[in-house]
Amino acid sequence: MKFEILTTDSRTRARRGRLHLAHGVVETPVFMPVGTQATVKAMTPDQLRSLSVEILLCNSYHLMLRPGHESVARLGGLHHFMGWDRPILTDSGGYQVFSLSELRHISEDGVRFQCHLDGSTHFLSPEGAVDIQKALGSDIMMALDDCLAFPADHAAALVSMKRSMAWADRCHAHFQKVATDSQALFGIVQGGVYPDLRQQSAEHLVNRGFPGYAIGGLAVGEPNAQMYEVIERVEPYLPEDRPRYLMGVGTPADLVECVALGVDMFDCVMPTRHARNGSLFTRDGHIAIKNARFKDDPGPIDDSCSCPVCKTYSRAYLRHLFMANEILSSVLNTMHNLHFYLDTMQRIRQFIEFHRYDELLADVRRRRSSALEE
C-alpha cells in the first residue's frame, strides 16, 4: 500500500491524497459504500462502477457466518466472489460482535459470541480476525478492537482502550507472519470521549508502525460537537503521511466537517439505509419521499443533482414506487443517495485543490443552520 498527499488546504487540516492498493487507486478524501454481505444493497457492481465508486467496505463478521470465509476463499476470494475488481476494505467484526451485548462474553483472549442467525457459538480472537480477513482477500483489513458503548466513564474507557491496544499488538504480530504484499492492516484508535486515552491509544499504535489509522468508537450516540472535538484532539498524534479513517460516519455535513479536521476515509450505511426508507439527500437536507406533497410533484429530487435518477424521474414517480413497495424504489433511491455522497466527496477534493475549503465549510454550515431553523 502506498499513500501520497497531493495537496494540503492552507486554512484547514483538509488533505487531498491518493491511495494505491492492490486492486486500484483511490482518490482521497473518499467515501466507501457499505457492502455488508458482499453486496451494496439494491446495487449491482456495474451500477457502482457507473457511479465511480472506487472502494467498498464489506463486513467480515457477516461473511464469516454466511457463507463462511473458507467458502469465499475456495471460490477465489471476495473480489471474485462478488464480481468486484476494485479495492475492498473489511472490518474486523468487532463492532458487530460487541453490539450483540447479551450474546457475547469478552476476555483478554478474545470474544465468545452466539450467532444472531442460528444461535451457534463462535470465538473470535485477534489472530482469528486477521485470518478471516486474509481468507477474504481484502485490500485493507482492520485490527480487532473492543468497541465501547456511549456513555462510559473514564475507568471503563481505559480498560476498553488497553484491551484494544493489546489486541492490536497481537493482530500486528500475526499479520507479519501470514500476510501477503497485497493486503494492509490498519490499527484503530480507541478511548471513548477522553482526550488523554485517545492520545495514549494513538501513540501506542503509531509505535507499532501501522500503514493506516482508523478512529473508532464514535457516532455511537455522542453529540456531534463532542465527536468533532475528539477527532480534533487525536489528529495531531497521527502521522501526516498515513491515511486516517473515521469509522461509521456519517451525514454529508459530517463528512465536510471531518475532512476539515484531517480525515481521509469514511464509511456509513446512512445513504443506502436511508434510501430504502425513502429518505433522500439534497443540498438543503433530506426529504421523505412518501410525503403527500410529492404526489403530483414533477420536479427531480434535487434540481442541482446530475445523477441518472434526477435526470430522468420525478418526485411523483419516486413517491409512487415507494408507496407501492416496488423493488425499483430501493434501486433508484440508493443510486441517488450514493451519487449524492460521492459527488460531495468530489466537491470536497476540488475545494481542497483550489485551497478554498473554508468556503465549502461555511456553505455547509449555513445550510445546516437553515435546515435546523426550519
What are the residue numbers of the active site?
91, 267
Which of 127, 229, 105, 227 is closest to 173 using CA atoms?
Answer: 127
E runs forming strands in 108-190: 110-114, 121-124, 140-142, 184-189
Question: To 5 degrees, how large is the angle CA 60–CA 63–CA 69?
Answer: 90
Which SS3 state, helix, strand or coil, does residue 175 take? helix
Which of 183, 184, 193 is closest to 216 using CA atoms?
Answer: 193
At residue 279, what are phi and psi to the nearest 5 degrees? -105, 115
Q: How far apart are CA 335 and CA 20, in angstroms?
A: 26
Q: How far apart are CA 152 and CA 110, in angstroms?
A: 21
Neighbours of 222 (CB within 10 A): 16
Q: How far apart are CA 329 and CA 158, in angstroms?
A: 45
